[in-house]
Amino acid sequence: MLNCRNKLKFNMKKMLFFLLFPILVFAQSGPKMEIDGGDNINTGSHMRGKEVTYEISFKNAGDADLKINSVQTSCGCSSALISSDLLKPGESGSIKFTFNGQGFGQISKNVLVNTNEPENSNYHTISMTMNMVDPITFNPQSIVTEGKVGDELKRTATITNSLDKEVSITEITSNTPVIKITSDKTILNSGEAASLSISIKIYEESAINAAIIIKTTEGEFQIPVLVDVKPN
């Protein structure tokens, strides 16, 4: 009976060792770079021609010091700056990614990171995707019409917010007093459109070559207006 108990204790110890062994091996993982959001980051929509900056957050999820050996980008139009090149276990850091904003539509740039992690795990390629757009789009993009002296022409246009953030219209004017404009909205959420009511009064027999000027929180934009005046 005593031998049976001893064997049972011994077998239980062996079982406990084998249960704990994978946990011990897993815990002894060395440094490990863990990027918030993974290796593919979509930064959303941005105004084309305007510099884009984005903070890539990461942490050392391992049990040894994480050393960042190098950080570089895939082209000269972008750059990356590390907040700290040495992180202790559990510490967090960031990489400041900057893109010059040139281009239109969906653009991808890579951030390349080399660390002291084990071989085959020490290179990270972080893909940064940006949608470069004109913040405000117009329909139509210009107003071309005709009339006679004394006519008051009525036209409409729409302004659409192409960004993924709110845009405010601060002022709508024209560079000529013969054009009057009103808008049904002054604040546009992402994807939302405002309707412009445009009145053009013809006072004399000369062509009107003017512009509607729209000032927003994202800059100033214009809709060209050309009116050919016919003789009475």
Give me the CATH topology for the region 136-230. Immunoglobulin-like (2.60.40)
Running DSSP on this structure, what letter comes out for residue 3? H
Q: What is the pLDDT of residue 29?
A: 80
Q: What is the pLDDT of residue 123?
A: 96
pLDDT by residue (tens digit) across 1-34? 445 455 545 455 555 544 444 544 444 589 999 9
Q: Is the pLDDT of residue 100 over 60?
A: yes
Give me the CATH topology for the region 30-133. Immunoglobulin-like (2.60.40)
117, 197 contact by CB (below 8 A): no
If residue 14 lies in a helix (H) or strand (E), which one and from where to where? helix 2-27
Map out the domains of the chain as residue ranges. 30-133, 136-230
Asked if the domains 30-133 and 136-230 are classified in one and the same CATH topology, the answer is: yes
Residue identified by tokens 């990489």 is 95
Enter the tokens of residue 146: 């005709």
pTM of the model: 0.69
pLDDT by residue (tens digit) across 59-98? 999 999 999 999 999 999 999 999 999 999 999 999 999 9
Q: Is the pLDDT of residue 210 over 60?
A: yes
Q: Is the pLDDT of residue 126 over 60?
A: yes
